[in-house]
């Protein structure tokens, strides 16, 4: 249907390291590049499986990241453990809707977008779907791009804990929730990295 | 090298080698499994740490905030308020709190909860930290064994929130005075505890619960006496002005003090009782034990204005009791209104007399006591109202031996005992004065006055007669007398002729007498001269002189 041909259809595999086009038939059993001796793969091995594994890990980590407090503040006005969602509500109620929105985007919207996007990509690849291939590729790029921005929360807690050390007047300490949140970000980034976007365009018989 | 792919040959590739190399990336599944394990373990730990949920009812939910207000035990957070709702009858506020698991053992049937708010009292300031941080719910565990999940919160914090070691004591008093919860308890001016509770008992008396901290609770002995130390005790005694007070805080907020009782009571054996009597003041507390009071009744046939309930009853000058009631009675026989005074007396205050009686076992029953009082009445014991102070006119009842008083009947079977009475000394004085006035009244004063009047008129007549008739004559007489005396005066004056003549006569007489003496001398010496006459003078000069002298 399309005028484009996959490299495999031409019987060629590109070495990922030195760019040598190798004919599939000429590959030895250990699949090493005849020129640079690096491992040569037609597609990232076990890409969907690893992506799925990282994604599940990310979703699992996301639960305690939201349930456990991320920061403990104590001061003259008492002490409090705050969770991410609790913090968002707090800011929203006190009128700082912009900060609330920022934290919401960074810590709720972005991870969820990532979960849904990666999940969608995995699902369509498994189905060997040819639906909206361009948009799905764009989606993958977006997921890769927004990955690091999820670290905003972690950076906020780290900065606050480091700066707010006024003993009696006020101190802030990180709580385990932020570690889980950090894990969510790392794991989802790994998930996105382990996804091979070429699979979107593959057509298997 | 063939350039055409040979699919069959690829199919023939030994697949196991490929699989061998590909199991390592599958290790990635460890990550979600580990995540799941961590998540599940967190869940389990959370579920394990899930403490009990309790409900506390308060009259007001002032300051209590869902999710923020903490439950603290000994200032350590053990829980957090999870819901605040009104009770179904809208009378109370039901506060639901989630407690941590280790706090479950603190929840007994008598565990107390209260809302800690800033409180400023005379004795103490507490809960100031809640001004900034908001209120929290305080908690004090109880001693009961039964666990409980529903509690009724206290409106005021208990005086002792952290259960220090010590001893809790109940004090009974007719009235609590100006005590308040938290008021200090002193032992020799040293604060050793505080009042933790006050109750009004169904019989109207007061029960005060105090807590004496360890190690001072050792000072509480079976003989210990408690008294109300609020107020200032000013006493004007023989040794001057004596002002005594426990502390300024006790003056303002009230307070209690205790100390060992009188020495004779020190030999009371047994453990420390949990209940004590709270006396009004130190003097009352330190008095020897009074024992049970006995009630006596007295009928006075006179006004007892100034006799008040609580007035002392004194036996030979020693206070042995007090008046408990002054009532107006009515006698049918003579239609009179006697005043009936009921008094309680403590036979034990009679000292050695009581001991002597007690030795004979005579005071234990009313009958023996009545017989004893009967003998006293026979010896002249009478009740008499007396004036305690001329300034205030207050009366007291004196039981005294008045052997001169008329015999009185004593019925030992009447309960309460009825003591014969005599009228008060002051009243007797009044009666005497009355009689005196009556006598004066009875005198025939008018007749006396009339008689006196006639007498005075007679006197007046006599005097006027004297004045008109006797006095003018007297004047004449006096002037005649005056003239007589005048002439007498003149006659006797030195310059008068009579006087002069008399003087001359006397001189003549003296010369004559001298001549006679000379003649006599001459005759004595010359007796012959009588016959021969006088001889010529042959005498020395001196006789001549003499003779010349003799010659007038």
Is any Cβ of chain A less than 8 angstroms from the Cβ of B472?
no
Per-residue model confidence (pLDDT) at position B161: 60
All residues of chain B having their beta carbon less than 8 Å from the beta carbon of residue A60 are: 32, 35-36, 38-39
Q: What is the mean pLDDT of chain A?
A: 82
B5 and A64 in contact by Cβ < 8 A? Answer: no
Beta bridge partners, B344, equal B295, B322
SS3 B138: strand
Alpha-carbon distance A71 to nearest alpha carbon in chain B (angstroms):
16
A53 and B28 in contact by Cβ < 8 A? Answer: yes
A167 and A75 Cβ atoms separated by less than 8 Å: no
All residues of chain A having their beta carbon less than 8 Å from the beta carbon of residue B1 are: 26
CATH number of A46-201: 1.20.140
Is any Cβ of chain B less than 8 angstroms from the Cβ of A56?
yes
A53 and B17 in contact by Cβ < 8 A? Answer: no
Give the distance, in angstroms, between the CA of residue A162 and the centroid of all CA atoms in the same chain.
27
Name which of B4, B22, B34 is nearest A45 (Cβ-Cβ).
B22
All residues of chain B having their beta carbon less than 8 Å from the beta carbon of residue A53 are: 28-29, 31-32
Alpha-carbon distance A29 to nearest alpha carbon in chain B (angstroms):
8
- Residue of A21, A46, A87, A189 best to disrupt the B interface, most CBs of B under 10 A: A46
CA-nearest residue of chain B to A24?
A: B5
H or E element at residue B492: helix B471-492
Q: Tokens in use for B341?
A: 């005074």
B25 and A25 in contact by Cβ < 8 A? Answer: no
Q: Cα(B184)–Cα(A108) distance, rounded to whole angstroms?
A: 59
CA-nearest residue of chain A to B29?
A: A53
B32 and A49 in contact by Cβ < 8 A? Answer: no
H or E element at residue B262: none
Residues 58-87 of A with CB under 8 A from B: 60-61, 63-64, 67-68, 76-78, 80
Is any Cβ of chain A less than 8 angstroms from the Cβ of B6?
yes
Other CB atoms within 10 Å distance of the CB of residue A38: 14
Phi then psi for residue B252, to 5 deg, are -80, -50
Of A189, A62, A174, whose CA–CA distance to B42 is shortest? A62
B157 and B119 Cβ atoms separated by less than 8 Å: yes
Per-residue model confidence (pLDDT) at position B452: 93
B199 and B207 Cβ atoms separated by less than 8 Å: yes
A122 and A51 Cβ atoms separated by less than 8 Å: yes
Query: Taking CA A27 as the corner, what is the angle to CA A22 and CA A30, rounded to the nearest 5 degrees?
Result: 130
Give the distance, in angstroms, between the CA of residue A5 and the centroid of all CA atoms in the same chain.
30
Q: Cα(A146)–Cα(A144) distance, rounded to whole angstroms?
A: 6
What does the pLDDT look like over A65-118, one tens digit per residue? 888 888 888 776 667 778 888 888 888 888 888 888 888 888 888 888 889 999
Per-residue model confidence (pLDDT) at position B235: 67
CA-nearest residue of chain B to A23?
A: B3
CA distances from residue A150 to A59, A61, A120, A181, A187 in whole angstroms, order as listed: 14, 14, 20, 9, 11
Sorted by sequence, the CB contacts under 8 Å of residue B122 that are 6+ apart come out as: B180, B249, B252, B253
Sorted by sequence, the CB contacts under 8 Å of residue B486 that are 6+ apart come out as: none
The ipTM (two decimal places) reads 0.74
Q: Which residues of A73-106 are buried (b: 16+ CB within 10 A; e: fewer)?
A: bbbeebeebbbbebbbebbeeeeeeebbeebbeb
Q: Cα(B222)–Cα(B201) distance, rounded to whole angstroms?
A: 24
Is any Cβ of chain B less than 8 angstroms from the Cβ of A183?
yes
A56 and B32 in contact by Cβ < 8 A? Answer: yes
Of B142, B133, B135, whose CA–CA distance to B112 is shortest? B142
B247 and B255 Cβ atoms separated by less than 8 Å: yes
Alpha-carbon distance A18 to nearest alpha carbon in chain B (angstroms):
21
Per-residue model confidence (pLDDT) at position B507: 94
Alpha-carbon distance A61 to nearest alpha carbon in chain B (angstroms):
6
Per-residue model confidence (pLDDT) at position B271: 56
Is any Cβ of chain B less than 8 angstroms from the Cβ of A7?
no
All residues of chain B having their beta carbon less than 8 Å from the beta carbon of residue A68 are: 42
Per-residue model confidence (pLDDT) at position A204: 60
A68 and B42 in contact by Cβ < 8 A? Answer: yes
As to burial, measured by CB atoms within 10 angstroms (0-12 exposed, 13-18 middle, 19+ buried), residue B226 is: buried
A181 and A154 Cβ atoms separated by less than 8 Å: yes
Global confidence as pTM: 0.47
B284 and B319 Cβ atoms separated by less than 8 Å: no
Name which of B3, B34, B36 is nearest A23 (Cβ-Cβ).
B3
Is any Cβ of chain B less than 8 angstroms from the Cβ of A193?
no
Of B288, B401, B395, whose CA–CA distance to B347 is shortest? B288
Is any Cβ of chain A less than 8 angstroms from the Cβ of B3?
yes
All residues of chain B having their beta carbon less than 8 Å from the beta carbon of residue A77 are: 132-133
SS3 A84: helix
Q: Tokens in use for B137?
A: 């719910």
What does the pLDDT look like over A109-153, one tens digit per residue? 888 888 999 999 989 888 887 788 888 889 888 888 887 777 877
Per-residue model confidence (pLDDT) at position A205: 46
Torsion of CA A122, A124, A125, A129, to 10 degrees: 180
All residues of chain A having their beta carbon less than 8 Å from the beta carbon of residue B28 are: 46, 49-50, 53-54, 194
Is any Cβ of chain A less than 8 angstroms from the Cβ of B132?
yes
Is any Cβ of chain A less than 8 angstroms from the Cβ of B32?
yes
Name which of A25, A50, A77 is nearest B28 (Cβ-Cβ).
A50
CA-nearest residue of chain B to A52?
A: B29
Per-residue model confidence (pLDDT) at position B254: 76
Per-residue model confidence (pLDDT) at position B306: 80
A56 and B6 in contact by Cβ < 8 A? Answer: no
Phi then psi for residue A166, to 5 deg, are -110, 30
B117 and B129 Cβ atoms separated by less than 8 Å: no
> Domain extents for chain A?
1-42, 46-201
Is any Cβ of chain A less than 8 angstroms from the Cβ of B27?
no
Is any Cβ of chain A less than 8 angstroms from the Cβ of B20?
no
CB half-sphere exposure, B466, CA atoms < 13 A: 6
Can you give the pLDDT of all 552 residues of chain B as single tens digits?
Answer: 444 444 445 445 444 444 445 566 677 788 888 888 988 888 888 788 778 889 999 988 888 888 788 888 888 888 888 888 888 888 889 999 988 888 888 888 888 888 888 877 655 667 777 777 788 888 888 778 888 888 888 887 776 666 667 888 888 887 767 777 778 888 888 888 888 878 888 888 888 888 888 888 888 887 788 888 776 767 666 666 777 776 676 677 678 888 887 765 545 555 566 788 888 777 777 776 667 778 888 888 888 888 888 888 888 888 888 888 888 888 888 888 888 899 988 877 777 777 777 677 655 677 777 877 888 888 888 888 888 776 777 888 888 888 877 777 777 777 788 888 887 776 677 778 888 999 888 888 889 999 999 999 999 999 998 888 888 888 889 999 999 999 888 887 777 788 888 889 999 999 999 999 998 998 898 888 888 877 776 555 555 444 444 444
Q: Cα(A19)–Cα(A21) distance, rounded to whole angstroms?
A: 6
A76 and B132 in contact by Cβ < 8 A? Answer: yes
- Residue of B5, B6, B27, B39 best to disrupt the A interface, most CBs of A under 10 A: B39
A61 and B5 in contact by Cβ < 8 A? Answer: no
- Residue of B1, B31, B40 best to disrupt the A interface, most CBs of A under 10 A: B31
């Amino acid at each position: 249907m399309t005028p484009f041909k996959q490299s495999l259809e031409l019987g060629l595999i590109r070495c990922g390291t030195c760019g040598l086009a190798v004919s599939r038939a000429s590959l030895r059993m250990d699949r090493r590049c005849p020129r640079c001796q690096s491992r040569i793969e037609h597609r990232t091995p076990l890409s969907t499986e690893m992506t799925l594994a990282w994604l599940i890990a990310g979703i699992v980590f996301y639960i305690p990241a939201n349930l456990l407090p991320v920061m403990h503040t104590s001061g003259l006005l008492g002490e409090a453990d705050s969770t991410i969602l609790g913090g968002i509500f707090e800011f929203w109620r006190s009128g700082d809707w912009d900060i609330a929105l920022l934290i919401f985007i960074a810590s709720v919207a972005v991870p969820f977008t990532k979960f849904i996007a990666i999940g969608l990509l995995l699902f369509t690849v498994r189905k060997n779907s040819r639906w909206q291939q361009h948009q799905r590729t764009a989606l993958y790029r977006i997921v890769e791009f927004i990955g690091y921005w999820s670290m905003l929360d972690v950076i906020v807690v780290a900065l606050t804990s480091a700066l707010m050390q006024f003993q009696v007047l006020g101190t802030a300490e990180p709580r385990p929730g932020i570690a889980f949140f950090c894990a969510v970000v790392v794991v989802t980034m790994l998930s996105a990295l382990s996804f091979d976007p070429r699979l979107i365009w593959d057509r298997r018989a | 090298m063939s350039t055409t792919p040979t699919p069959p040959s690829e199919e023939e590739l030994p697949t196991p080698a490929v699989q061998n190399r590909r199991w390592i990336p599958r290790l990635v599944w460890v990550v979600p499994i580990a995540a799941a394990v961590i998540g599940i373990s967190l869940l389990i730990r959370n579920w394990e740490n899930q403490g009990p949920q309790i409900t506390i009812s308060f009259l007001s939910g002032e300051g209590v905030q869902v999710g923020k207000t903490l439950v603290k035990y000994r200032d350590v957070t053990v829980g957090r308020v999870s819901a605040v709702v009104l009770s179904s009858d809208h009378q109370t506020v039901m506060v639901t709190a989630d407690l941590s698991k280790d706090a479950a053992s603190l929840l007994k049937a008598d565990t107390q909860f209260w809302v800690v708010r800033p409180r400023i009292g005379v004795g103490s300031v507490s809960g100031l930290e809640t001004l900034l941080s908001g209120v929290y719910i305080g908690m004090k565990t109880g001693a009961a064994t039964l666990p409980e999940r529903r509690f009724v919160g206290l409106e005021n914090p208990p005086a002792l929130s952290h259960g220090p070691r010590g001893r809790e004591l109940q004090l009974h008093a007719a009235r609590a005075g100006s005590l308040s919860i938290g008021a200090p308890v002193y032992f020799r001016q040293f604060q050793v505890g505080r009042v933790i509770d006050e109750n009004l008992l169904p019989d109207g008396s007061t029960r005060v619960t105090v807590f004496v901290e360890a190690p001072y609770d050792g000072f509480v002995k079976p003989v210990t006496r408690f008294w109300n130390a609020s107020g200032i005790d000013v006493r004007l005694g023989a040794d001057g002005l004596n002002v005594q007070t426990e502390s300024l805080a006790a003056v303002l907020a009230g307070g209690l003090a205790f100390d060992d009782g009188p020495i004779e009571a020190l030999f009371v054996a047994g453990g420390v009782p949990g209940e004590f009597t709270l006396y009004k003041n130190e003097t009352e507390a330190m008095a020897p034990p009074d024992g049970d009071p006995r009630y006596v009744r007295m009928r006075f046939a006179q006004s007892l204005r100034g006799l008040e309930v609580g007035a002392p009853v004194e036996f030979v000058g020693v206070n042995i009791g007090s008046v408990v009631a002054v009532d107006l009675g009515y006698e049918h026989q003579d239609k009179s209104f006697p005043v009936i005074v009921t008094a309680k007396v403590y036979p034990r205050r009679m000292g050695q007399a009581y001991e002597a009686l007690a030795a004979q076992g005579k005071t234990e029953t009313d009958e023996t006591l009545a017989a004893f009082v009967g003998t006293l009445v026979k010896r002249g014991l009478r009740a008499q109202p007396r004036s305690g102070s001329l300034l205030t006119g207050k009366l007291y009842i004196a039981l005294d031996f008045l052997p001169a008083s008329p015999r009185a009947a004593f019925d030992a079977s009447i309960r309460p005992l009825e003591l014969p009475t005599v009228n008060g000394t002051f009243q007797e004085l009044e009666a005497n004065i009355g009689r005196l006035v009556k006598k004066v009244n009875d005198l025939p004063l008018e007749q006396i006055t009339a008689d006196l009047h006639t007498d005075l008129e007679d006197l007046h007549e006599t005097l006027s007669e004297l004045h008109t008739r006797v006095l003018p004559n007297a004047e004449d007489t006096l002037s005649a007398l005056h003239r007589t005396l005048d002439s007498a005066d003149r006659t006797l004056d030195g310059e008068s002729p009579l006087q002069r003549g008399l003087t001359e006569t006397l001189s003549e007489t003296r010369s004559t007498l001298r001549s006679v003496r000379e003649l006599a001398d001459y005759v004595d010496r010359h007796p012959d001269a009588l016959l021969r006459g006088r001889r010529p003078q042959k005498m020395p000069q001196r006789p001549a002189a003499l003779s010349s002298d003799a010659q007038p």
